[in-house]
Structure formats: structure tokens, C-alpha cells
Amino acid sequence: MSKKRVLSGIQPTSDSFHLGNYLGAVKQWVELQDSHDAFYCIVDLHALTVETDPALLRQRTLASAAQLLALGISPEKSTLFVQSQVPQHNQLGWIMECMAGFGEASRMTQFKDKSAKAGSDSARVGLFTYPMLQAADILLYQADLVPVGEDQRQHIELTRDLAGRFNARYGQTFQLPEAYILKAGAKINDIQDPTAKMSKSSGSVAGVIEIMDTPEANLKKIKSAITDAGREVTFDPIEKPGISNLLTIHSALSGRTIADLENEFAGKGYGDFKAGVAEVVVEYLRPIRQRALDLLSDEKHLIEILHAGSAKAREVASTTLEATYKGLGVVS
Ligand code: TYM
């Protein structure tokens, strides 16, 4: 039996990915590449929905590739590519826009949040059509699974709806994808405001653990993480959101159970606990950051990897686009 297909994407909107990106998504990408036919995409077109600086976009696209490789994505196992190098994404994106209702697109919570923040005069039309381009990203590859964090669930549901609608009207064309969202790590919170998700766009600098930050900076951040009332290190996301978030992070990186960690830190207080979490995070990220820096020092090699990935992606994407056009009755 042939392997099931996985696709996911990440925006190059920051100099560094953060722990939420890794634990919510990329860690699963790495695991799934062994058992699945994996396609992973740096979604640079999606990044254009906010103001971008040309030099920064280029730098961040390459930094994204370097980090994904450093985190364990292997170009031998996975197809790692850049969205803008596969024009079929825009082409199917338009068709998905024509399949989507204005009402259902208006109900996307990420659109509502981001456009409210930007204000209606500065929010881009691309922010509104963003989920339909994301649907195209997924459907072009006939993906069975889409490993993402909880905040993407609604976009995957929309993708399923659009695919189902197209199939019903024009004949079976698209695989209906399923969101692959692990319980632990699905939502990593800001360590200064543990009721809000860790985020590149809205998080405070002090609340976001960045993969490319120096070990010293991350050590300091985690030691200054906000804690909760009480003194016991116990997992209780309602009463102790700060401690619970740190327990989740420790557990995901150390591979130890939450119960085991609660035992270890019983009676020890929050200071010792934060020092323990800091050590785990810093030592986990130290070699990854170094690998990413090494990879970034050879841009030519990085670009070759991305070109090879994009060429493979175009083959799959063009087959799906042809079938889509045929279904629609487009004269070829
Ligand atoms: P992006 O670039 O914002 O984030 C990349 C991945 O990281 C996850 N994530 C988190 N998970 C847990 N806790 C957090 N605090 C946290 N913050 C981010 C996201 O859920 C995501 O999986 N729309 C997507 C990019 C995209 C895409 C796609 C994803 C474009 N096309 C096709 C899957 C399939 C996004 O903005 O991710």
C-alpha cells in the first residue's frame, strides 16, 4: 500500500520560529516524515498579507528553511518547498475563492481577529482570502493529514467543506484532508501571559521562546516566566495556567510525563521548577540553533534544496490542477 500523504505549511513572518510552532506543528512534521509521504511548504505568499520588507522576506524565507532542516526535516524523506515557486497554489487558490461563500469566509476567527487588530482600512483583501489559498495548498497535494496547532483547525474544516463541495459539483477530484492535532502542544501559551497563545505577531517579546534566540536570552526569559498563586507544581490549566504551560513545554521536550514532573518538583517551589524547565529548553534548542546558523551560512546549498523540493511539488500540483480544470470544463 502506498504511504499516506501529509502536507503542512509555515509562514516566514519572523526571524525565528517559536516553541509554539515547534511543539504545535513542526515536531509532528518530523515524526510523520518517516511513515508518510510528506510535503512541507514555506508559505511566503501568505506572509504578504501583512506589510513586508523585501530584504526581510528573503532572509526569513531562508531562515525558515534552515530552521526546518535543523529541527529535523530531511530533504531525502520530505519534499520541502517554497509556495511562490509552485504557481499552481495561486491558480487553485482562485478556484477555491470561487467555491467559498462570503459568509463562511467572514466567519474565520483568524480573519476576524487579525482584521479587527489592523482596522478595516488597513486590513488587506489577502487577509480575507488567506484561508482559500491555504485550502489550495492542502488540496493540490491530495493530503490525507495536515499536522497543525489548534489555531488552524477551522481552516482545515473549511478546506474539507470546499473540497467536498467541489467534488459533489464537478466529480471526485480532491482527497478530504484531516487535521492532525496532538493534545499536548496543540496550544503553547505566552510565558508572560499564559492565557494567550504564544504568537509571533501578538506576543510580547519576553513571552515568546524563540528557537534562534541565544541560550542566555532564553534562560533569562524562562526564569522570568510568570507563575501562579500557590506554591505547588501541579497541572491545572484553569487555576495554574502559567505552571501548566511550563509543564507542557517540559514534558514535550523531555519526553517525560506530566505526573512524573509533578513528582520530581513536589515541595520544591516555582523557582526550582523554572530553573529545571529552562535547562531542558535551553539544552534542547542549543544544537538546533547552531545547526540552523551553519546552514544559513551556505545560502546556495539551501536554495538548491528548496529548488529541488519545489520541482517535485510542481509535478504533483500540476496533476491536480489539470484534473480540477478538466472537472470545471476549462478548455485545454
Ligand atoms: P503559522 O505560520 O502561524 O504557524 C505554523 C504552525 O505553528 C502552529 N502554532 C502553534 N501551535 C501551538 N501553539 C502555538 N502557540 C502556536 N502558534 C503557531 C500553527 O498552528 C501552525 O500549524 N495558516 C498557517 C500556515 C499555512 C498552512 C497551510 C498550514 C498556510 N498554508 C497549509 C497547514 C496547511 C499559519 O499561519 O501557520
pLDDT tens-digit series, residues 178-191: 999 998 888 999 99
Q: 173 and 269 share a domain?
A: no
Q: 139 and 250 share a domain?
A: no
Point out the catalytic residue in the list 4, 27, 77, 114. Answer: 114
Q: 283 and 162 share a domain?
A: no
Please tell me whether the overall predicted TM-score, pTM, comes out greater than 0.75 for this model: yes
Region of residue 185 (phi > 0: left; psi between -120 and 50: alpha; otherwise: beta): left
- pLDDT band, very low/low/confident/very high, at 200 (cuts 50, 70, 90): confident
Q: 160 and 209 share a domain?
A: no
> How does DSSP assign 139-198, residue by residue?
HTTT-SEEE--GGGHHHHHHHHHHHHHHHHHH-S--PPPEEE--STTSSPBPSSSTTSB-
Each residue's pLDDT tens digit, 300-324: 999 999 999 999 999 999 999 999 9
Q: 229 and 150 share a domain?
A: no
Q: What was the pLDDT predicted at 184?
A: 84
For 43, phi and psi rounded to 5 degrees?
-90, 80
Q: Which residue would you say has higher pLDDT here, 265 or 51?
A: 265
Nearest-angstrom CA–CA distance, 190 and 215 = 18
Residue 309 CB less than 6 A away from ligand 1: no
Helices and strands, counts by H and E, the chain = 14, 5
Q: List 39's β-bridge partners, or say none.
A: 7, 79
The Å distance, Cα 289 to ligand 1 centre, comes to: 20
Residue 195 within any structural domain of the chain: no
Amino acid at 136: A
- pLDDT band, very low/low/confident/very high, at 120 (cuts 50, 70, 90): confident
Residue 331 within any structural domain of the chain: no
Starting at the edge strand found earlier in the chain, the sheet holding 37-42 runs: 78-82, 37-42, 5-10, 145-147, 178-180
The whole domain housing 267 covers 203-290
Residue 54 within any structural domain of the chain: yes
Q: 163 and 285 share a domain?
A: no
Residue 242 within any structural domain of the chain: yes
Nearest-angstrom CA–CA distance, 186 and 73 = 19
Residue 189 within any structural domain of the chain: no
Residue 93 CB less than 6 A away from ligand 1: no
Per the listing, cell 467572514 goes with 106
Q: In b/e form, how buried is each residue of 99-129, taking b as 16+ CB within 10 angstroms?
A: bbeeeebeebeebeebbeeeeeeebeeebbb
Point out the catalytic residue in the list 27, 187, 197, 274. Answer: 197
Whether pLDDT at 117 is above 80: yes
Q: Which of 78, 110, 152 to mutate to test ligand 1, by most ligand atoms within 8 A of the CB atom?
A: 152
Residue nearest (by alpha carbon) to ligand 1 atom 33: 8
Q: Are 221 and 249 in contact (CB under 8 A)?
A: no
Q: 75 and 131 share a domain?
A: yes
Cell of 110: 483568524
CA geometry: angle 48, 139, 92, nearest 5 deg: 55
Residue 198 CB less than 6 A away from ligand 1: yes
Q: 50 and 131 share a domain?
A: yes
Whether pLDDT at 204 is above 90: no
Whether pLDDT at 203 is above 70: no
Residue 273 within any structural domain of the chain: yes
Residue 46 CB less than 6 A away from ligand 1: yes
Active site (annotated) includes residue 77: no
Q: 133 and 266 share a domain?
A: no
Q: 108 and 160 share a domain?
A: yes
The Å distance, Cα 290 to ligand 1 centre, comes to: 24
State how many domains the chain has: 2
Q: List 146's β-bridge partners, or say none.
A: 179
The Å distance, Cα 148 to ligand 1 centre, comes to: 6
Residue 187 CB less than 6 A away from ligand 1: yes
Each residue's pLDDT tens digit, 136-173: 999 999 999 999 999 999 999 999 999 999 999 999 99
Cell of 282: 535551553
Q: Are 274 and 227 in contact (CB under 8 A)?
A: yes
Q: 177 and 266 share a domain?
A: no
CATH classification of the domain holding 285: 1.10.240.10
Residue-averaged pLDDT of the chain: 96
Q: What was the pLDDT predicted at 201?
A: 79
Residue 192 within any structural domain of the chain: no
Active site (annotated) includes residue 114: yes
CATH classification of the domain holding 68: 3.40.50.620
Residue 43 CB less than 6 A away from ligand 1: yes
Each residue's pLDDT tens digit, 34-78: 999 999 999 999 999 998 899 999 999 999 999 999 999 999 999
Q: What was the pLDDT predicted at 121?
A: 80
Q: 55 and 169 share a domain?
A: yes
Residue 191 within any structural domain of the chain: no
